[in-house]
Structures are given as structure tokens and as C-alpha cells.
Structure 1
Amino acid sequence: MRSERYQQKKQRKGKWKTFFLILILILGGLIGYSYFQYKQGVALSKEKATIKAEKFEFHGDKDQYGGTNILLLGSDARGNERSRADTIMIAQYRPDKGSYKVISIMRDSYVNIPGHGKNKINAALAFGGPELLRQTIKENFDIDLKYYAIVDFNGFVHLIDEAFPQGVEIDVEKAMSTNIGVSLQPGLQRLDGQHLLGYVRFRHDAIGDFGRVERQQKTLKEVASQFKSFQTLAKLPKLVGVMTPFVNTNMDTADILYIGKDFISKSMSDIDTLRVPIDGSYENQRINGAGAVLAINLEKNKQAIQEFLEK
């Protein structure tokens, strides 16, 4: 009797050992596959990237509302050029809620830049890199930022083409061609990376940068919605690799994969967006030395941001 129980116990142990061995082999295979895919993506983009490889000073802090805030900056600078930020966004990830929020800050917002006086907010990047822009956003809008990512627009093109070989479906609301390098006609259509970049950068109409920010947020939601598929999730390491040479960031690859995995695997239909300045909180002005600016009511915008991030 004891012998039978001993044999049964031994068999159960053997089964568990086999199970754990298989599990370890599967995990090892997944890690190996992910690493291979990541390196393959890097190899595809490395020779085409033009963004500077330097590491910037950045004293980021965790957000007071429990979120991880990432300063996203769009740039088309070449070589050693230190340009103003063409696009300024703050992406927030709340792991406790599994939520994603995006704040777009108008680049002509007239604010105080620490140590440089008042100027357009996008000048802070040229004056002192992402750290000075972080300080500027903290001082004017009381938002803490943990990470930064400066994205070369070429990286956006390659990411879209790799993730969506058939293009991204977007409803183009009007004909567009001025200063975007492509020609777009109105209507629902699939855009490749170059045409989608032209769509989000167009601003030569009556509403200028306001329309451009609106299109950026619209495109972000469309791309997020169309990203959600098992095929895209499986390609995530390669997509991160494709983007890596085009991005200057203080984020680790593991952090990007972690946040990106949740971004793809969760429903993005309810992604929240906010534009700063909000309606009714700014005036168009012309300032000597700065040109056309948005003179904004800081208190109204800080309150709107607080309510947006807290909900």
C-alpha cells in the first residue's frame, strides 16, 4: 500500500517537473523570439535614422495622480541641429486603471521658460533640451513628467509602414498639399506612413495649428484602434526595434514593451485627449521677438488639466 502511494506521489512530481520544464522552454523560446524580432527591427531602421544619439539630462518625477507621464516630442531636426519642438504631447499611462490619456500642448503657447523669460513653449527644447521643457511644463501647468521621448518623423513613417502594410484607414476631411511633401484628396482612404505624416502635419488653412492638433489626436485614436490585433501584438518587439533608432529617450526597452503591450492588448476606443490651451482660455497676440503667440490663462488650463488627469 505504501509502495503504491509512493509511486503515485513520484509520478505526480514527475508530471510537475515535466510541466515546469516545458514552461521554461516556452518562455525561453518567447524571449529568444522577441529579442530576435527586436534586433531585426533595429537593423531595418538603423541606417535610415538621423536623430541624435546623445543622452539628455532629465530629472523626471512620478505623477501625483499615480500615472506615468511621458513627454512626447516630434522633431525633424537634422544632424547637430537643435530645433524647437514641432509637436508637444504628454502621454499618461495609469496602470491601476489601465487607462491612457494624451494632452497636446499648442507649440505657440506663450509661457515663462525658466531662466529665459517669456517665449513660445516650443523654444524651451532649443534653449535647454527636454529637461528645460520639463521644467517649463511643471512651472506653468504643474504636470510631473517621468520620461521623455524625442521622435524623428521618419520613425513615424517606418512604424506605420511596418505595422500597417495596407495603410491606416483615415477620413481626410479636405484637400491638403501645402508644405507636407504629398498631396491628399478628401474622403475615407488608407494612407501609408508618408501620406499619414503629411496629414498630421498639415496646418495651412484657416484654423492653422488648432486643426493640426485635432488631426494628430484623431490619428492617434485611429492608429490605436487599428493596432489592436493578435498579429500586431506578436510584432510588438519588432515594431519597438523599428522605432528605436528614431527615438531619443530615457525609457528602457523593457518599459516600452510593458506599456506598449497593454496599449495594444486593451481597448483603445475610450482613449481620452485634451488640448491645451482649452477653448475660452487664450487670446491671439503678436509679441516683438516671438511673433504670433497664444496668450493663455494659466489658471484655467491648470484646472482643466487637473480635472482631466484625476478622472
Structure 2
Amino acid sequence: MLVFLLLIGAVAGYAYFQYKQGVNQSLNKINKDKKQANVVYTFEGKKDQYGDTNILLLGSDARGKEKARADMIMIAHYNEDKGTFKLTSIMRDSYVEIPGHGKHKINSAFASGGPELMRQTIKQNFDIDLQYYAIVDFQGFVQLIDEAFPDGVEIDVEKKMEKNIYMTLEPGLQKLNGTQMLGYVRFRHDAIGDFGRVERQQKAIKAIRDQLSGFQTITKLPKLIGVLSPYVNTNMATSDMLFIGKDFFSNKKGTMATLRIPVENSFTEPRIKGEGAVLDIDVEKNKQALHQFIIQ
């Protein structure tokens, strides 16, 4: 019994050491003049009616600025009993009812009321509860990729990409570093615009998960979470991130299913005064598609 307790203590100590090492590594790279206060948000989340844990993932260039619109909106669906994950992307131009603010693009909910108003907006329109949120500064994504993949993430770049990403990505199967991966997932200046960007974001997350799966990744997980932590505003405890991350990177869980909202044939693309081009979605059709996706 004593040996077992000592072993548990050693493992916990090693995990904490790795976590702190990752945190300090990132803090040393953050320009103190640009570092912003970690805003404390109210978030009244809970598990959904199916027993899943839903994590609201928001991507932003300006963590902590309450007026910044969310550049990426995703929901990670985690089923603890099965240890499985699904991923839903909500397109930022989806034109929906925002509680207390009328109809607007959904990404403006974050600017108006932080992650809590985004949670309320998703609940009102799609009848799904969210338990956690994580606002990720995109520079944290860069640091995480470079730490986890010293040789880069293998991605099949489907076309030449260069406009507004401050680099040129040539087509073909290749390994991208953190900065290049950020350019890849943010590129949208082609014929399909945000639709292509959402598809690439999901493709990138799948590639990261597939290429990090296995026991070696589990042992590196505390440091990876530490590297990301200074760039993330979240209501998740570190222990929750470790527990969920362990299942996310397990190589026994199969492929990760994905969904995009709006689904096909469920929206129009009008121009609205004061909003510009929007995705005017059939809320009921998309709500049904989301619920079916979660329970199947």
C-alpha cells in the first residue's frame, strides 16, 4: 500500500513539474507590454440533457478584450462513459437571435456579453447546454503546435494560400509549423470563404489528434496544457483538462465525427443593413441536426 501511495505521489509530482515547466516556457515568450489581464467571466454552464459535457471553444486574436468578436466558434462534445468526442463548428456569420440584443451574427454575442451570452445564444437557438468555455488566443495555438510537433503537423494543403495570412503555403502534403498551421486554418480568401476555413479548422484538429494519439502523448499532456494555459481564458480546472485530454488523445477511440452549422440546404445568404452578408439559417432544421449528431 505504501509503495502504491509513493508511486501515485511521484506521478502527481512529475505531472505538476511538467505543467509548471510548460507554463513558464510560454510566459517567457509573451511580451509583457502586450500581455493582457485574464478577464474573469461568469458562466452558468451545465451538462446537456444527454449527459454529455459540451465545451465552448472560442478563437480570438485578443484574449481578454471584451469587445473582440469570436473568430472561431466550436463546441467539443465529450461523452465521459464512452470516452468519445464530437466536434461542431458554428459559422460566425450565422444570423440568429441573441438574447436581449435582437438578431445579429452569432459571433457578436461574445463582443456584447462574453462567453456567457454566447452560451445563452446557443441555448436559445439550438437548445443545448454548455458546461465549460475556453477562449484561446491564436498565439497559444502556435506555441502548442511547436511544442507538440517539433517537425510540424502533416497536412495536405489543398491549394495555394497567401492572401492576408502573411505567408505563402504551396499545395501538397507537407509538415507545417505552428505559424504555418495558423495561416492554414485562418485562410478564407477564396471562392468558398468561411466555409473552407471551417472545413480546414476541423481537418487540422483531426490531424493534431491523430498524430498525437498514444501513450507518449499522455505523458507529455501536463506540459502541453501548461504551454497553452497562459494563452487561454477558461472555467475548466487543470485537473478537468488533464482528465478530458487523456481521452481526447487516446488512440483507442476511433475517428472524431464533425458537424458544421448551418448544415447543407438550411440557409440563405442575404445582405442585412448594418450587418453586411449573413447566413440566415433555418434554426429548427439546424437544431434538429445538432441534436441528432450528438445522440447518434
For normalisation by structure 1, the TM-score amounts to: 0.91
Residue 27 of structure 2 corresponds to residue 42 of structure 1: no
Q: CA deviation at 1:270?
A: 1.6
How many Å apart are 1:266 and its aligned residue? 3.8
Q: Distance in 2 between matches of 1:81 and 1:307?
A: 33
Q: What is aligned with 1:11?
A: none
Q: Which residue of 2 aligns with 1:260?
A: 245
Q: Which residue of 2 aligns with 1:302?
A: 287
Q: Find the counterpart in structure 1 of residue 185 from structure 2.
A: 200
Match of 2:202 in 1: 217
Q: Percent identity?
A: 64
Could you say which structure has the higher helix fraction?
1
Partner Cα distance (2:64, 2:255) in 1? 38
Segment drifting more, 24-33 vs 46-55: 46-55
* Structure 2: segments with no counterpart, 5+ residues: none
Q: Which residue of 2 aligns with 1:233?
A: 218
Letter paired with 2:75: I
State whether structure 2 residue 106 is matched by structure 1 residue 121.
yes
For residues 81 and 131 of structure 1, do their structure 2 counterparts lie closer, same or farther at Cα, with a shift above 3 Å needed? closer
Structure 2: distance between partners of 1:183 and 1:142 = 41
Cα distance in 1 for residues equivalent to 2:239 and 2:228? 14
The partner residue of 1:273 within 227, 247, 258 is: 258
Greater shift, 262-271 or 154-163, is seen at: 262-271
Report the Cα distance in structure 2 between the residues aligned to 1:273 and 1:202, rounded to whole angstroms: 20
The residue correspondences of 1:20-99 to structure 2 (distance < 5 A) are 20-49=1-30, 50=35, 52-77=37-62, 80=65, 82-99=67-84
Mapped partners of 1:187, 1:278: distance in 2: 28
Alignment map for 1:156-195 (pairs within 5 Å): 156-195=141-180
Question: When the two structures are superposed, what TM-score results if normalisation uses the length of structure 2?
Answer: 0.96
Q: Does 1:131 align with 2:97?
A: no
Distance in 2 separating the partners of 1:61 and 1:25: 36
Partner of 1:146: 131
State whether residues 203 and 211 of structure 1, in contact with CA within 8 Å, keep that contact through their aligned partners in structure 2: yes
Q: Counterpart in 2 of 1:246? A: 231
Q: Decide whether the 8 Å contact of 1:180 with 1:198 is kept in 2.
A: yes
Q: Return the match for 1:288 from 247, 264, 273.
A: 273
2: CA distance between counterparts of 1:87 and 1:268? 25
Pair 1:125–1:279, CA change in 2 (3 A): same
How many equivalent pairs are there?
A: 292
2-structure distance, mates of 1:29, 1:220? 32
Structure 1 contact 221–268 (Cα < 8 Å) conserved: no
Mapped to 2, the partners of 1:230 and 1:158 lie a distance apart of 22
Q: In 2 relative to 1, CA 51–229 (structure 1 residues): closer, same or farther, beyond 3 Å? A: farther
Q: Secondary structure at the match of 1:265?
A: coil
Larger radius of gyration: 1
2-side partners of 1:59 and 1:159: how far apart?
28
Question: Mind listing any 5+ residue stretches in structure 1 that lack a counterpart?
Answer: 1-19
Distance in 2 separating the partners of 1:268 and 1:41: 27
Amino acid at match of 1:203: R
Aligned equivalents of 1:260 and 1:78: distance in 2?
A: 22
State the 1:48 CA deviation.
3.8
CA RMSD of aligned residues (A): 1.3
Aligned-partner Cα distance in 2 for 1:226–1:156: 16
Matched-pair contact (CA < 8 Å) for 1:282–1:297? yes
